[in-house]
Amino acid sequence: MMADADLIFSLIRFIHKTHKQDGTEYPAETLYALVMNLQGHLHMLGKEVKFLKENKFKGVQNTLDNHMKAFFKEGYGSAQKLS
C-alpha cells in the first residue's frame, strides 16, 4: 500500500490535473465526490484515512478547498463548504 506522503502528493496532483475528456474542469462537487470515493475505496482495502479530518492531509484539504472556491468564484455551483 502507498505511503501517506505519496498518497498526499498523488491526491493533490489528481485534484489539480483531473479534467473531463473535452478539457473542461469537473464541477467542485464532483471532485469532492471523487475524493470521498477514493477514501471509501481505501477503507475497503483496509487503509483508514480521513482526507477531510486528519491534519496530515491538510495539503489535500487546502487544495480541494481552494479548487472549489475558484470554481464557485467563476460562478459555477453553489458556494457552500463541503466538509
pTM of the predicted model over 0.75: yes
Only one residue has cell 464541477, namely 27
**Tens digit of each residue's pLDDT (9 = 90 or more) over 49-80:** 999 999 999 999 999 999 888 877 877 665 45
Nine-digit cell string for 75 = 460562478
**Tens digit of each residue's pLDDT (9 = 90 or more) over 5-56:** 999 999 999 998 988 999 888 888 888 999 999 999 999 999 999 999 999 9
* Residues whose CB falls within 8 Å of the CB of residue 68, separated by 6 or more in sequence, listed in order: 28, 31, 32, 77, 82
**Tens digit of each residue's pLDDT (9 = 90 or more) over 38-51:** 999 999 999 999 99
| Domain chopping of the chain, boundaries | 4-15+26-73
* Residues whose CB falls within 8 Å of the CB of residue 73, separated by 6 or more in sequence, listed in order: none
